[in-house]
Amino acid sequence: MSDDKCKCGSCFSKDMPLPEVNFSTFVMSLSSSALVHLGEVADPSTGSVGFSPVLAKHSIDLLAILQDKVKNGATPEEEKLLCDLLYNLRMKYVSKTK
């Protein structure tokens, strides 16, 4: 097996460009996890769609902690991104857990 790519073919190769590592991509990653756990998108590792309210709430709560901690240190764009993502995720969570 080469160091560049695993045999399963689903892993990233060293040549594949990844998104820039910054606050926004971190927040988007947590948001993506919440969407997977809400059953809104397929799990990229399995391709299956499932609903796990406990894990969805965990991801949403992590984003809320970040929002609270970065209130004075984030750019206006980062604050808006986080605020919008949290609102949308919370609405989806409430809708699915009624």
pLDDT above 80: residue 9: no
With respect to residue 90, please indicate whether it lies within any of the assigned structural domains.
yes
How many domains does the structure of the chain reveal?
A: 1
Q: Are 19 and 25 in contact (CB under 8 A)?
A: yes
The confidence band for 83, taking pLDDT boundaries of 50, 70 and 90, is very high
What is the model's pLDDT at position 1? 40
> What are the backbone dihedrals phi and psi of residue 18, each rounded to the nearest 5 degrees, phi first?
-105, 155
Question: How far is residue 36's CA from residue 52's CA, in Å, rounded to a whole number?
Answer: 9
With respect to residue 79, please indicate whether it lies within any of the assigned structural domains.
yes
- Of 75 and 94, which is predicted with more confidence? 94
With respect to residue 13, please indicate whether it lies within any of the assigned structural domains.
no
With respect to residue 4, please indicate whether it lies within any of the assigned structural domains.
no
What is the model's pLDDT at position 3? 45
With respect to residue 68, please indicate whether it lies within any of the assigned structural domains.
yes
**Domain hosting residue 64, numbered range:** 26-96
With respect to residue 45, please indicate whether it lies within any of the assigned structural domains.
yes
Residues 18-74: pLDDT tens digits?
Answer: 889 999 999 999 999 999 999 999 999 999 999 999 999 999 999 999 999 888 888
With respect to residue 5, please indicate whether it lies within any of the assigned structural domains.
no
The two tokens of residue 37 are 């756990």
What is the model's pLDDT at position 13? 61
**Dihedral angle over CA of 55, 34, 17, 48, nearest 10:** 70
What is the model's pLDDT at position 29? 94
**Dihedral angle over CA of 13, 19, 20, 21, nearest 10:** -80
